[in-house]
Amino acid sequence: MIQKILFAGIDGSGKSTCLDLLISRLESQYSIIKVGNGDPYLYFRGERRLAIKNRCYWIMSYMRPISKRYHFHGLFLIGNFLYKFLLLKYVELLKTCDLIMYETDVLLHPAVYITYHFPFSKRITPNLRLKLVNMLSGSKRNCSIFYLDTDPELAMERIYERGADIHEHENPRDLCTLKREFDSIVEVALKNGFRIFRISTNHKTMDEVADDIQMILETRLSRAG
Look at residue 36 in the predicted model and tell me its pLDDT: 78
Residues 6+ apart with CB under 8 A from 137: 106, 107, 143
- The DSSP secondary-structure symbol of 141 reads T
Look at residue 104 in the predicted model and tell me its pLDDT: 85
Q: Which CATH class is domain 3-224?
A: alpha beta
- Mean pLDDT value across residues 193-204: 93
pLDDT at 138 over 70: no
Q: Tell me the per-residue pLDDT of 141-186, one tens digit each, with 9 for 90 and over.
A: 788 999 999 999 999 999 999 877 788 889 999 999 999 999 999 9
- Mean pLDDT value across residues 32-48: 81
Cβ count within 10 A of residue 8: 26
Three-state secondary structure call for residue 217? helix
Give pTM, 2 decimals.
0.87
Mean predicted lDDT score pLDDT of the chain: 86
Q: How far apart are the first and last CA of the chain?
A: 9
Cα three-residue angle 193-199-205, rounded to 5 degrees: 160
Phi, psi for residue 101 in degrees, rounded to 5: -110, 120
- Mean pLDDT value across residues 76-84: 77
Q: How far is the C-alpha of 55 from the C-alpha of 39, rounded, in Å?
A: 9
Phi, psi for residue 212 in degrees, rounded to 5: -60, -45
Domain ranges of the chain: 3-224
Look at residue 137 in the predicted model and tell me its pLDDT: 65
Residues 6+ apart with CB under 8 A from 157: 12
